[in-house]
Amino acid sequence: MVAEKIYTVSEITEEIKILLESNFFSLWVKGEVSNFNRHHSGHFYFSLKDKSAQIQCVMWRNKNIRLSFLLEDGMEVLARGRITVYEKSGKYQLEVDEIQPLGIGELQLAFEQLKRKLQEEGLFDQKFKKPLPVFPFRVGIVTSPTGAAVRDLISIMKRRFPPVEIILNPVRVQGEGAAEDIVRALREFNEWGEVDLIIVGRGGGSLEDLWAFNEEIVARAIFDSKIPVISAVGHEIDFSISDFVADKRAATPSAAAEIAVMDYRDIDSTLNNILKRLYMKMKSNFEQERERLKRIESNYYFRKPVDMIKQFSQQIDEVFNKLEKNFEFLIESNTNLLLQLEKRLSSLDPEKVLQRGYSICYKLPESFSVKDSKKRKEDDALKIKFYKGEIESKVYKVVN
């Protein structure tokens, strides 16, 4: 009879379990991901391998949900966790709590993965880009109400095109909940449908600071917008996923303001160019008809008897009548166009509206114009602008 202790399979497995789990309760393992499987339960099952060995790994859903990037076969990673023994099969595995990609930062990897995914779906295609309006009279801004970006946007747009009305939908631009804020603001502008253009953005910062604009939900909200969107995130060297999806990318918020509205001084130049093109078109028509008349005069039949002369004389009269009508139509239609543009620009001048005895009411502190008393409540702070001066007040009573 053997004198040494005899173990059952369960007993020796339990001993091994205690030995391994007590000595390897927290360790880092470097290896290549292989056989990656995302179970329908949300748990990750995969192997880590090197040239001569491999270890089975599991990462529970409550841990992997925090990952900002996607695990893929062939990816080199560092995994932190503990060794556990699955007694039923007698196998050991690494129960992973944390994973870091090797060679590239976690956020940069997540950025590249999402960029590749959306590009393959076609969200960056030029065919989906909506044209920006030439004269946007109402512009919606999605940004922080306190940053330098909003001050630059408002001051530059007002200087370049005074009639423009600017509506700020304030959001958080970094930190928890920022992406959801941005999506909400974009959807509210689209549901309202009263802005001609939307600018979404913020000033510069680190990749972490700008991360809200690299979230998939923000990219899809920009793509789904029926209103043209300009993305103005960070500085000139910064690129975000929002930049690739938007209808137009601006290097900075200041550049976005210049793209959004035309300088009113350039409008005169544009009108002059229209008149110049009109003149050149009429001159070209006259030259063509003059050449036609010369060909008629040099024709052999033109020298025939009086009846031929009468016939061509009638044709000449018809040509001149056609020219006269075309000339009058061109002058009248383009004059009306110029008058309509001039009248529209003049009617939108806020100073002229105020001069006629009207006033403009703004909600404080956001400074957006108040159009509906039902949306205000008692003690709301208001600013009322007159032709000369302005006052600040509070709502005493709302009368619907």
Report whether 27 contacts 83 (CB < 8 A).
Answer: yes
* Lowest-pLDDT choice from 109-123, 161-175, 240-254, 351-365: 351-365
* Lowest-pLDDT choice from 186-190, 295-299, 334-338, 391-395: 295-299
Looking at the whole model, is its pTM more than 0.75? Answer: no
Whole-angstrom Cα distance, residue 259 to residue 153? 11
The DSSP bridge partners found for residue 86 are: 91
DSSP sequence for 149-190:
HHHHHHHHHHHH-TT-EEEEEE---SSTTHHHHHHHHHHHHH
pLDDT digits (tens, 9 = 90+) for 51-91: 888 999 999 999 988 888 888 888 888 999 999 998 888 88
Does position 234 have pLDDT exceeding 80, yes or no? no
Higher-pLDDT residue of 374 and 288 is: 288
Report whether 155 contacts 161 (CB < 8 A).
Answer: no
How confident is the model at residue 236, as a pLDDT?
A: 63
Whole-angstrom Cα distance, residue 136 to residue 160? 12
**Residue 89 class from Cβ within 10 Å (0-12 exposed, 13-18 middle, 19+ buried)?**
exposed
Mean pLDDT within 203-208: 81
In sequence order, which ranges of the chain are alpha helices (DSSP H)?
9-23, 61-64, 106-121, 148-160, 178-192, 216-224, 241-245, 253-260, 264-298, 306-347, 350-355
Does position 181 have pLDDT exceeding 90, yes or no? yes
Does position 238 have pLDDT exceeding 60, yes or no? yes
Residues 6+ apart with CB under 8 A from 387: 351, 354, 355, 357
pLDDT digits (tens, 9 = 90+) for 124-167: 999 999 999 988 999 999 999 998 889 999 999 999 999 999 99
The distance of Cα 155 from the centroid of its chain, to the nearest Å, equals 21
Fill in the amino acid letter for 53: A
pLDDT digits (tens, 9 = 90+) for 8-61: 888 888 888 888 888 888 899 988 888 999 999 999 999 998 888 899 999 999
DSSP sequence for 324-335:
HHHHHHHHHHHH
User: pLDDT above 90 covers what percent of the chain?
Assistant: 40
Mean pLDDT within 96-115: 83
Closest CA to 54 of 83, 79, 31, 27: 31
Report whether 222 contacts 245 (CB < 8 A).
Answer: yes
